[in-house]
Amino acid sequence: MIYKKFFNKLIYAFIFVSLLVVGGCGSSVEVKTETPEEEIETYSNASLLVSTDELQNMVGSDNLAIIDAREGGYDTAHIPGAISMPHPVFADSSLNILSVSELELLLTEMGIAPDMKIIIYDDTTASWEAAGRIFWILEYLGCQDVHVLNGGWDKWAAEGRKTETAASALPNSDKPFTAFTRSAIVMDKNQLSNRLGNEDFVVIDSRKDEEFNGWTLYNEARGGHIKGAVQIPYEWFFNEDKTILSYEALKLMFESRGVTSDKEVTSYCTAGIRSGFIYFALRLLGYERASNYDGSIWDWAEASVIDPDKYPMEQMPHYEKLVYPAWLDQLISGQNPPTYPGNGYVILDVDFNEGYIPGAIRIGWRDLNVTQETNPATPEDGSLKPDAELREYLENLGIAHDTTVIIYSYYSELYGRVFWALMYAGVEDVRVLNGGYNAWVSYGGEVVDSSATPVPTDFGIQVPGHPEYLADTQETLDCMTSPNGDILDLRTWDEFTGAADYHSYITVTGHIPGSVFLWYKDWLDGDETLRSYTEVESMWIDAGLTRDKTICSLCTIGQRSSLLVLWGHLMGYTNVKNYDLGWYKWTEDPSNPVEKWDVDPSEAQY
């Protein structure tokens, strides 16, 4: 049974890794710069996309409307013949779409008729892919020949194609625009509430991690997401040149999250803009029951405050511990961002060399450890410092028990180790910058050449303040034997099965009997941001790692395994422990049981 469980996990991991490779998903792995034309043809509704070549050949054609959906830049340069219609013109002050009669009047005034060929473009991620929202609106009104320019203004401008600055206008129609509405593609909160939880219904949240997790960025009445929603941020849908992902990549991205074509699918964001593009992507793939929730989280959250049972929401239990670049920017600039207690802060740069966030103090994760020079009996990377030395080390960094500490790095196992050590020591407010240094640079945050000099302080309490985060060998044995305990092994598959080990100081291979294997890289998206916590929690629960258990984690020496404490804390698990020195320490005592599997490691190597 355990054997089967592990291989199911490996199959799932393979699917996710494949998704990153072919789709990118905002990842740092190799992605395509564009989708070749032959792959575009494989979309079920490929004609909904128009290439820059095709549009260039169409410019000046009769019965053609080109809509520039950008909110800025039209007067500077636009595609010849395009009319300016940014998405707010279709909406009221709350960004809900206008009434049908108002939309009919608007389109009549703009010279658009239902039988026209309409091609919409925007500047993709810079305008929240508003072209998708307008596509949805026009299909709702009954237009039959609506398309989106693949790559938008980004690709048109990058290719140096012809532009103009003079405003364009369509000839006045000799008859008013008359809508033939398709109500099935419009979702409202009551319809969604009635369908929520049905097996043939999926809700997609197209917002960023911080919004999904619980931060309120746009005056939402409540933070978090619609309960049960699947998170697929709309930025994931693009190649580097802003063309849309290939058919196979889109299909895999949807289906690996349970968004299959046999289900009814609706999408939402803050106000129905980003989610309008998700509707377009679903249509492109041929999903026959797709809709957009126009009111989106503004509408749902407001209703949830009044009736949380009918309009349920959920959030990461400790979302505030996973900060985002704009939050950190506010803190550095002297503001008091949400949830910051105001007791002073320290930013720790963990083993990163390419530049520094202003005010960051550079440390190495090994600086927290006893080294071989101090204790030759420890492995190369060492074990956590004794309590008194750990306290002194933190004091020299300027960290007191009530200091807010923000950690960043590129590798999750590095900041995970530091997070765990600080939590164990008793620091009350430890946070991680989601996506680390790369996320900061992508945000446009300032980068400086040198790290800051710490100002020593008094820690204020005895170390450890939270000894429960550290497991010893006896507690790990208890987790092995108790029905209320579990052991999580975060080494590679080859190490877990006993097929191989990559450390010279490991003489015994295998794993602790009954332990659970999960690969921690599956807890990350390709750009090293943390994966949707609801997906990670599902992995844990499927593996038997439930909230009612004591969970001890191990790896080779306690580095990767510290991520259990980070993730457990974020998700509200109250009894998670890191077995420092892990497998190395376990195998020092020959009386501790060891299990190996006769498995071909080539079936699942990482």
Q: What is the pLDDT of residues 146-194, one digit of tens each?
A: 999 999 999 999 999 999 999 999 988 778 999 999 999 999 999 999 9
Give the mean pLDDT of 221-244. 96
pTM of the model: 0.91
pLDDT at residue 410, rounded to an integer: 84
Q: Domain limits of the chain?
A: 2-22+468-603, 37-183, 185-315, 321-465
Q: Is the pLDDT of residue 554 over 80?
A: yes
Tokens standing for 287?
């999903």
Please say whether the beta carbons of 259 and 266 come within 8 A: no
Gap between the Cα atoms of 210 and 221, Å rounded:
15
Gap between the Cα atoms of 19 and 531, Å rounded:
13
Please say whether the beta carbons of 558 and 488 come within 8 A: no
Q: Is the pLDDT of residue 91 over 60?
A: yes
Please say whether the beta carbons of 420 and 578 come within 8 A: yes
Give the mean pLDDT of 425-429. 98
Tokens standing for 263?
């289900």
Gap between the Cα atoms of 273 and 87, Å rounded:
8
For the stretch 367-413, pLDDT in tens is 999 865 665 666 666 789 999 999 999 999 999 999 999 999 988 88
Of 164, 149, 163, 67, the closest CA to residue 111 belongs to: 67
Q: What is the chain's mean pLDDT, rounded?
A: 91
Q: Which residue has the higher pLDDT, 204 or 6?
A: 204
For the stretch 18-45, pLDDT in tens is 433 333 343 333 345 677 666 666 899 9
Within 8 A by CB and 6+ apart from 308, the residues are: none
pLDDT at residue 503, rounded to an integer: 83
pLDDT at residue 20, rounded to an integer: 39
- Residue 400 sits at φ, ψ, to 5 deg, of -100, 170
Within 8 A by CB and 6+ apart from 602, the residues are: none
Number of residues assigned to the chain: 606
For the stretch 338-366, pLDDT in tens is 999 999 999 999 987 779 999 999 998 88
pLDDT at residue 370, rounded to an integer: 84
pLDDT at residue 323, rounded to an integer: 98
Q: Which CATH architecture has domain 37-183?
A: 3-Layer(aba) Sandwich (3.40)
Give the mean pLDDT of 561-568. 96
Give the mean pLDDT of 490-514. 90
Q: Which CATH number fits domain 2-22+468-603: 3.40.50.1980, 3.30.1340.30, 1.10.10.410, 3.40.250.10?
A: 3.40.250.10
Gap between the Cα atoms of 571 and 548, Å rounded:
13
pLDDT at residue 1, rounded to an integer: 28
Crossing angle of helices 563-571 and 533-542, in 10° steps, is 110
Out of 35-44, 101-110, 437-446, 461-470, least confident range? 35-44
Domains 2-22+468-603 and 37-183 share a fold: yes
For the stretch 293-326, pLDDT in tens is 999 999 999 999 999 999 999 999 999 999 999 9
> What's the number of CA atoms in the CB half-sphere (13 Å) around residue 473?
13
Tokens standing for 16?
């996710």
Within 8 A by CB and 6+ apart from 522, the residues are: 12, 13, 16, 531, 539
Q: What share of the chain in percent tops pLDDT 90?
A: 83
Gap between the Cα atoms of 527 and 492, Å rounded:
20
Tokens standing for 270?
């803050």
Please say whether the beta carbons of 307 and 273 come within 8 A: no
CATH 3.90.70.10 fits 185-315, yes or no: no
Please state which CATH number belongs to domain 321-465: 3.40.250.10
Within 8 A by CB and 6+ apart from 248, the residues are: 22, 39, 42
Confidence of residue 85 (pLDDT cuts 50, 70, 90): very high
